[in-house]
Structure 1
Amino acid sequence: MSHSPDVSASRQHIRQHIRQVRRALTPHQQQSSAHEAAKRFLSWSPAASAQHIGLFLSVDGELDTRPLIERLWAMNRSVYLPVLHPFSTGGLIMVRYEPDTELVVNRLRIPEPRLDVRQILPLQHLDILVTPLVAFDSTGQRLGMGGGFYDRTLQNWREHGFIPVGYAHDCQHVEALPTERWDIPLPTIVTPSKLWAW
């Protein structure tokens, strides 16, 4: 994939800056943001009827998904987490996550459920996929960590029939992101103070 060195450098700079800003949030800010965002997500109309929801476990100062996961469990919704595909490089598999699911740390140092084929959900059965991001802009463009895992998973979201939604702190919004041709914009992003929709 050819891409402009300027765009790559610019994206890397934004990544570093936003990750620093995000990590500087106090535990209290993190906690109150997580509860506000969970409330906002659950008041979003597609979430009202969604039964199968893909989520992620927060690392590195990401908006904490734990309060949302716990509320979904309490509502008897099924929660799934991404697991790195064992033989398709750059692919993600969605695996059921329950309170007693055993987690293992993957090669990216992110906790994921231990792979159990009985707990895999094909993407076309997912209702909503909540995606992490480092930064997003006013057009719904998303900047991830650079591994392309979510770009690949989001590529055919309309055909699969699920709705992707970004989940981020307000401080992760930037006016405009430099984009690459493989970037997939998100139709909705939830932050603690706002629901962005395009």
Structure 2
Amino acid sequence: MDSKNLRSLMRQRRQSLTRRQQQTASAGLAVQLCRLPEFRYRKNIAFYLANDGEIDPQFAMGIADRAGKHCYLPVLHPLKQNRLHFVRHTSGDCLEANRYGILQPPLRGNRIASMHRLDLILLPLVAFDARGNRLGMGKGFYDRTLSNRAAHTRLIGLAHSCQETDNIARQSWDIPLDAIVTECNTIHIRPEKG
């Protein structure tokens, strides 16, 4: 199946989940994340606000916030196409819709994190396979942004377990993940040997 059709199929799968299934998945995701040393021992963590049926990391973000971690959310870069900033966010902070209708913190007056400050970045996936290959929404926001990340920054993709597929072709521009976490399990990804 080509990436366009796979993307459409997986978006339909996650959009068909009921509100109750989404809440259960969000709670399961928080349990899985809390088991990871990458989550427990990192201080500066980038989350995202779920949209389009994505698995919702809100419970995990609440746990991180209560533990005194610094939470960040992605914000569309106003000038550079298909790039993100990460802005510090705490519960109750103001949010606004971006050009895609997705909520994000306003850039004005907020603390933008340098890519070297972030210890862990959690990113939404549209599809994934057991080898750690992934498919996003197709606009390349994360790939372009993460090409400048620090060596210590861990990248973990988040998805519903129903978004797993047999095989996704890895593209040359894909930034590899360290792990993929669903509401049911964690896939630790070993780097491919050259």
Give the TM-score normalised by the residue count of structure 2: 0.92
Identical-residue share of aligned pairs (%)? 36
Cα deviation for residue 39 of structure 1 reads 1.1
Q: 2:72 aligns with which of 74, 80, 84?
A: 80
Aligned counterparts of 2:84 and 2:93: Cα–Cα separation in 1: 18
Q: Comparing 179-188 with 55-64, which one deviates more in the overlay?
A: 179-188
Structure 2 match to 1:70: 62
Cα deviation for residue 160 of structure 1 reads 4.4
Structure 1 match to 2:86: 94
SS at match of 2:2: helix
Q: Deviations over 1:158-182 (max 9, x none)?
A: x442101001100111111133321
Cα deviation for residue 149 of structure 1 reads 0.3
Cα deviation for residue 129 of structure 1 reads 0.2
Q: Which runs of 4+ in 1 moved over 6 A?
A: none
Cα deviation for residue 48 of structure 1 reads 1.3
Q: Deviations over 1:86-135 (max 9, x none)?
A: 11111110000111311110012111000035511101010100001100
User: Which amino acid counterpart does residue 123 of structure 1 have in structure 2?
Assistant: M
SS at match of 1:125: coil
Structure 1 match to 2:192: none
Aligned counterparts of 1:91 and 1:153: Cα–Cα separation in 2: 5
User: Which amino acid counterpart does residue 80 of structure 2 have in structure 1?
Assistant: S
Q: 2:25 aligns with which of 28, 33, 45?
A: 33
**Ranges in structure 1 where 5+ consecutive residues have no aligned partner:** 1-8
Structure 1 match to 2:174: 183
Q: 2:44 aligns with which of 28, 52, 57?
A: 52
Structure 1 match to 2:129: 137
Q: Considering only aligned residues, what root-mean-square deviation do their CA atoms show, in Å?
A: 1.4
Structure 1 match to 2:142: 150
Aligned counterparts of 1:124 and 1:88: Cα–Cα separation in 2: 19
Structure 2 match to 1:116: 108
SS at match of 2:187: strand
Structure 2 match to 1:194: 185
User: Which amino acid counterpart does residue 93 of structure 1 have in structure 2?
Assistant: H
Cα deviation for residue 41 of structure 1 reads 0.4
Q: 1:17 aligns with which of 9, 18, 21?
A: 9
Structure 2 match to 1:5: none
